[in-house]
Amino acid sequence: MTTAPVPQTLTLPTPGDPADSVLVRAARGQQVERTPVWFMRQAGRSLPEYREVRADVPMLQACRTPDLVTEITLQPVRRHGVDAAIFFSDIVVPLQAVGVDLDIVAGVGPVVAEPIRTRADLDRLPELTPEHVTDIAESVRRLVSALGGTPLIGFAGAPFTLASYLVEGGPSRNHEKTKALMAGDPQLWHDLCARLAQISGEFLRVQVEAGASAVQLFDSWAGALSLDDYTRQVQQHSAKALATVADSGVPRIHFGVGTGELLGAMADAGCEVIGVDFRVPLAEGARRAGGRHAVQGNLDPALLFAPWEPVERAVLETLESGAQAPGHIFNLGHGVLPQTDPGVLTRVVELVHERTQRA
Ligand SMILES: Cc1c2[nH]c(c1CCC(=O)O)Cc1[nH]c(c(CCC(=O)O)c1C)Cc1[nH]c(c(CCC(=O)O)c1C)Cc1[nH]c(c(C)c1CCC(=O)O)C2
């Protein structure tokens, strides 16, 4: 056993062109000299340097302050030497930007003051324009220049996951009000999702135009749906959000949790990479997606609390499974848990790089 490594001091900006980075090439299924690795929620409470800068600043205020967004986004890149930065923001930021009264409550998640459940409620939800999020474009531009050859991943929440927060009024285990609306008033449901697709798609476009090298659409809670409901009620709206940035040529990653039954339908929504959670082996995920997509994932984030040997074994098994897909971006099967030892994350990055390095 070696001791936990000291945080690396990676010098930014790194050399190179982010459009030609290992992350972007792996996403396109092209040859790479090593398997790229980054972690969902790599910026956040697992890092002491994050807790320090966030100490007196509410989450949404931090997301709208370019100095803080830039610093927090770069923290895990400097510390872990990951192959991509993910833009520090939240899926509810564009909703707040168009005027939805909401807050992110620590330990709970997004809480919406006036949930959207009627036609009149929907009429109060405007479309997103670039003017709503000039600070987001500014943060992205600063990051792209600070990162150099390291790609920045932009992101947005998918219509279903955003609708769940808006309709329920906050986090939900069963999504019962959302499913009741979907079944009880299909026209209102589709109109709500169409508005959310516009908002998500535009939020992605703003980030891509400011220089993001890839995007991820988070449909975190889509796994709560049957394949039939997903296909009839949700897929077309996620497809519309993803199509907004299709012409840009940046790779699109599509991810949700518990989506083993939905991977084919999510792949068909229009993406280059399918995110696979820890419940489905990557090779099987690639097969379910139709055999043409690169995969991203999928180490169980809870496993990082185990001793190093089983962690190492699982990383190697993940790499072996991922090698059978048309391309592999190493990640966790969901976000980094707040109590995770960041030293273990750094060791995972080193292990992935060491074991996959090719001449
Ligand atoms: C469902 C969802 C949300 N937000 C997001 C999703 C999709 C990803 C997923 O499935 O986890 C997306 C998100 N939220 C955040 C990021 C940052 C980038 C990164 O991955 O490093 C990303 C990509 C920051 C954040 N978003 C949030 C935090 C924690 C806030 C804090 O540090 O106080 C961070 C770093 C808050 C948030 N926001 C949301 C939740 C459930 C929570 C957690 C609440 C809690 O446990 O306190 C909604």
Asked if residue 3 has pLDDT above 50, the reply is no
Return the amino acid letter for 204: L
Mean pLDDT of the chain: 96
To the query of whether residue 124 is one of the catalytic residues in this protein, the response is: no
Listing DSSP states for 240-304 in one string gives HHHHTTGGG---EEEE-SS-TTTHHHHHHTT-SEEE--TTS-HHHHHHHTTS-SEEEEEE-GGGG
Q: Which two tokens stand for residue 269?
A: 């929504």
Give 75-133 pLDDT, tens digit per residue.
Answer: 999 999 999 999 999 999 999 999 999 999 998 999 999 999 999 999 999 999 999 99
Tell me which DSSP letter residue 236 carries. Answer: H
Predicted local distance difference test score (pLDDT) of residue 350: 98
How far, in Å, from the CA of 282 to the mean position of ligand 1? 24
d(CA 276, CA 286): 9
Contact 281, 300 (CB under 8 A): no
d(CA 353, CA 82): 10
User: Among the residues of 8-109, which ranges form H helices?
Assistant: 22-27, 48-54, 59-63, 66-80, 93-97
Listing DSSP states for 110-146 in one string gives EEESS---SHHHHHT-PPP-GGGGHHHHHHHHHHHHH
Tell me which DSSP letter residue 215 carries. Answer: E
Tell me which DSSP letter residue 342 carries. Answer: H
Closest atom of ligand 1 relative to the 257 alpha carbon:
10
Residue matched to tokens 């993001």? 212
Give, for ligand 1, the residue of 42, 70, 90 to mutate: max count of ligand atoms closer than 8 Å to Cβ.
90
Asked if residue 1 has pLDDT above 50, the reply is no
Annotated binding residue 212: no
**Adjacent-strand bridge partners of 218:** 157, 255
Those residues with Cβ within 8 angstroms of residue 218's Cβ, 6 or more apart along the chain or in another chain: 91, 155, 156, 157, 158, 161, 255, 256
To the query of whether residue 54 is one of the catalytic residues in this protein, the response is: yes
Model pTM score: 0.96
How far, in Å, from the CA of 336 to the mean position of ligand 1? 10
To the query of whether residue 56 is one of the catalytic residues in this protein, the response is: no
Residue matched to tokens 């947005």? 156
Q: CB neighbours (10 Å) of residue 29?
A: 17
Predicted local distance difference test score (pLDDT) of residue 10: 75
Average pLDDT over residues 9-29: 93
Annotated binding residue 220: yes
Annotated binding residue 246: no
CA distances from 312 to 339, 342, 351 (A): 19, 15, 8
Tell me which DSSP letter residue 33 carries. Answer: S
How far, in Å, from the CA of 65 to the mean position of ligand 1? 17
Q: Which two tokens stand for residue 65?
A: 């302050």
Tell me which DSSP letter residue 20 carries. Answer: G
Q: Treating both helix axes as pointing N-terminal to C-terminal, what angle do 159-168 and 176-184 enclose, rounded to 10 degrees?
A: 110
Q: Would you state the torsion angle of the CA atoms of residues 225, 231, 236, 241, taken in this order, to the nearest 10 degrees?
A: 40
d(CA 102, CA 70): 23
- In terms of DSSP bridges, do strands 109-112 and 102-105 run parallel, antiparallel, or are they unpaired? antiparallel
Predicted local distance difference test score (pLDDT) of residue 4: 45
Contact 70, 137 (CB under 8 A): no
- Within 6 Å (CB) of ligand 1, which residues are found? 40-45, 54, 59, 86, 88, 90-91, 104, 106-110, 155, 218, 220, 335
Name the active-site residue from 25, 50, 54, 252: 54
How many residues belong to the chain? 359
How far, in Å, from the CA of 90 to the mean position of ligand 1? 6
E strand or H helix at 5: none
How far, in Å, from the CA of 291 to the mean position of ligand 1? 30
Predicted local distance difference test score (pLDDT) of residue 113: 98
Annotated binding residue 248: no
E strand or H helix at 327: none
Which residue's alpha carbon is at the smallest distance from atom 28 of ligand 1?
A: 44
Which residue's alpha carbon is at the smallest distance from atom 37 of ligand 1?
A: 109
Average pLDDT over residues 161-166: 98
Predicted local distance difference test score (pLDDT) of residue 11: 81
Predicted local distance difference test score (pLDDT) of residue 89: 98
Banded model confidence at residue 9, pLDDT cuts 50, 70, 90:
low
Average pLDDT over residues 144-162: 98
Give 179-218 pLDDT, tens digit per residue.
Answer: 999 999 999 999 999 999 999 999 999 999 999 999 999 9
Closest atom of ligand 1 relative to the 109 alpha carbon:
44
217: left (phi over 0), alpha (psi -120 to 50) or beta: beta
To the query of whether residue 117 is one of the catalytic residues in this protein, the response is: no
Annotated binding residue 45: yes
How far, in Å, from the CA of 112 to the mean position of ligand 1? 15
Domains of the chain: 18-356 (3.20.20.210)
Predicted local distance difference test score (pLDDT) of residue 6: 45
Average pLDDT over residues 7-24: 87
Cα of 17 vs its chain's centroid, Å: 22
19-23, 63-67, 104-108, 224-228: least confidently modelled range: 104-108
Name the active-site residue from 165, 219, 300, 347: 165
Average pLDDT over residues 263-267: 98
Give 301-326 pLDDT, tens digit per residue.
Answer: 999 999 999 999 999 999 999 999 99
To the query of whether residue 41 is one of the catalytic residues in this protein, the response is: yes
% of the chain at pLDDT higher than 90: 96
E strand or H helix at 324: none
